[in-house]
């Protein structure tokens, strides 16, 4: 039943709580960025268009984009992208805060 593997055991000696927590922080940060970056950029585009267009966002643009400029959701999506970036760049420091130095 061996299909090219040397042994039947999987080495998990390097897999500890801190490593799993770091992996979870990285995945969570990536998901926050991927989930919110498109919405944030869309709101940036709408705000830019509203500022440079002499008529603002008319009904045709609103219907075409299926969305009007909403500052609350723009701020929330921007904060989610920022928090995701902070989680990706500082995952080691965040894991030290939650797990501590003694449980490595």
- Domain residue ranges of the chain, discontinuous segments joined by +: 17-99
Output the pLDDT for position 69.
65
pTM of the model: 0.70
Q: What is the mean pLDDT of the chain?
A: 80
Pair of tokens at residue 22: 């770091």
CA distance 9 to 95: 29
CA-to-CA separations, 1 to 5, 6, 7, 8, 100, in angstroms, rounded: 10, 12, 11, 10, 43
CA distance 37 to 31: 10
Q: Pick the residue with more confidence: 2 or 22?
A: 22
pLDDT tops 60 at residue 103? no
pLDDT tops 70 at residue 47? yes
Output the pLDDT for position 36.
95
Output the pLDDT for position 88.
94
10 contact partners, CB below 8 Å, separation of at least 6: none
Angle at 101 between CA 97 and CA 104, to 5 degrees: 115
């Amino acid at each position: 039943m061996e299909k090219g593997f040397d042994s039947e055991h999987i080495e998990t000696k390097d897999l500890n709580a801190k490593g799993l927590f770091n992996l979870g922080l990285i995945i969570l940060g990536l998901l926050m960025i991927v989930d919110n970056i498109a919405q944030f950029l869309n709101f940036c585009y709408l705000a830019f268009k509203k500022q440079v267009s002499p008529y603002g966002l008319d009904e045709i643009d609103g219907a075409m984009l299926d969305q009007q400029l909403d500052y609350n959701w723009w701020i929330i999506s921007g904060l989610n992208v920022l928090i995701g970036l902070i989680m990706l760049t500082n995952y080691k420091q965040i894991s030290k805060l939650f797990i501590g130095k003694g449980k490595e």
